[in-house]
């Protein structure tokens, strides 16, 4: 209940104080981490100079988490289905997140255009290359979207693995429990059509997820 109420307040504040959009989102996200009792355990370091962050995805908590801790203004790539939710879809529209229609070639053109616009505005792109949420126990095969964007604009990409966010907030079943969330920051790589950088990121993220789950 509090999540829904505070999201509504955040949407209103983002429209009222558009110039402080990022500040509003970060304040809300930090408040959520405290209210939900999330204890963050980090391994490695966030690269504020990276152009794009790619994550595994298991919960809405993944977004809350990085809105709270990132030093950059983030531009999340999200599905049209979420943006179309009455009222709550404005959580994407108000901060000009990147909204895409899955399996649409026309949407890919828009994705590239919007990505360039956000990059030119100094924002850091955030993508879940699996394309959907999982149960957090394994990494699904990556979709091509992040690869296309990164290679088109020769971006620096940091792969990041999140473990345990679904245990703190299972956004599908709407169950919340305080606990630890592990963040594993992998080295930033340069997107290059001549190298298998994307496949390497997927492999390293899969291995990191597996190892971290065994250690928890």
The reported pLDDT for the residue numbered 103 is: 64
pLDDT exceeds cutoff 80 at 102: no
The reported pLDDT for the residue numbered 72 is: 97
Find the range with the poorest average confidence among 18-27, 95-104, 170-179: 95-104
Separation CA 27–CA 4 (nearest Å): 16
The reported pLDDT for the residue numbered 173 is: 86
The reported pLDDT for the residue numbered 174 is: 85
What's the topology of domain 2-215? Glycerol-3-phosphate (1)-acyltransferase (3.40.1130)
Mean pLDDT across the stretch 157-173? Answer: 95
The reported pLDDT for the residue numbered 104 is: 67
Percent of the chain with pLDDT over 70: 99
The pLDDT confidence band at residue 3, using thresholds 50, 70 and 90, is confident
Total-model pTM: 0.94
How many CB atoms are closer than 10 A to CB 27? Answer: 15
State the DSSP H helix or E strand holding residue 159, giving kind and residue range, or none if neither: strand 156-163
Is residue 13 within 8 Å of 19, Cβ to Cβ?
no
**Collapsing DSSP states into helix, strand and coil, what is residue 4?**
helix
DSSP string computed for 77-101? EEEHHHHTSTTTTHHHHTTT-EEE-
Is residue 203 within 8 Å of 189, Cβ to Cβ?
no
The reported pLDDT for the residue numbered 2 is: 86
**Collapsing DSSP states into helix, strand and coil, what is residue 64?**
helix
- For 15, which DSSP code? H
- Cα-trace Rg, the chain: 16
What pLDDT digit, counting tens, does each position of 127-146 carry? 999 999 999 999 999 999 99
Considering only CA atoms, which of 120, 75, 123 is closest in space to residue 99? 75
Establish how many alpha carbons lie within 13 A of residue 140's alpha carbon, considering only the half-sphere containing its beta carbon. Answer: 14
Considering only CA atoms, which of 66, 73, 22, 74 is closest in space to residue 161? 66
Structure tokens at 97: 């997140």
Mean pLDDT of the chain: 95
Helix pair angle (61-69, 21-35), 10° resolution: 120
113: Cβ–Cβ under 8 A, 6 or more apart, which residues?
none
What pLDDT digit, counting tens, does each position of 12-49 carry? 999 999 999 999 999 999 999 999 999 999 999 999 99
The pLDDT confidence band at residue 191, using thresholds 50, 70 and 90, is very high
Separation CA 209–CA 56 (nearest Å): 9
pLDDT exceeds cutoff 90 at 167: yes
Mean pLDDT across the stretch 169-186? Answer: 93
The reported pLDDT for the residue numbered 108 is: 85
137: Cβ–Cβ under 8 A, 6 or more apart, which residues?
213
């Amino acid at each position: 209940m509090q999540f829904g109420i505070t999201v509504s307040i955040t949407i209103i504040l983002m429209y009222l104080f558009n110039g402080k959009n990022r500040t509003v989102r970060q304040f809300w996200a930090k408040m959520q981490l405290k209210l939900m009792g999330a204890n963050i355990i980090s391994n490695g370091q966030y690269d504020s100079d990276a152009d794009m962050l790619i994550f595994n995805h298991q919960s809405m908590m993944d977004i809350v988490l990085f809105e709270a801790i990132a030093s950059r203004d983030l531009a999340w790539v999200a599905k049209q289905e979420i943006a179309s939710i009455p009222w709550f879809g404005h959580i994407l529209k108000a901060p000009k997140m990147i909204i895409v229609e899955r399996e649409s070639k026309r949407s890919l053109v828009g994705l590239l255009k919007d990505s360039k616009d956000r990059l030119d505005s100094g924002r850091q792109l955030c993508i879940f290359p699996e394309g959907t949420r999982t149960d957090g126990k394994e990494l699904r095969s990556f979709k091509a979207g992040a690869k296309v964007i990164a290679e088109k604009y020769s971006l620096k990409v940091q792969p990041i693995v999140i473990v345990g966010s679904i245990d703190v907030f299972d956004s599908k079943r709407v169950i919340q429990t305080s606990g630890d969330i592990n963040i594993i920051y992998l080295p930033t790589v340069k997107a290059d059509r001549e190298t298998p950088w994307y496949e390497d990121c997927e492999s390293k993220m899969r291995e990191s997820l597996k190892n971290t789950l065994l250690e928890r």
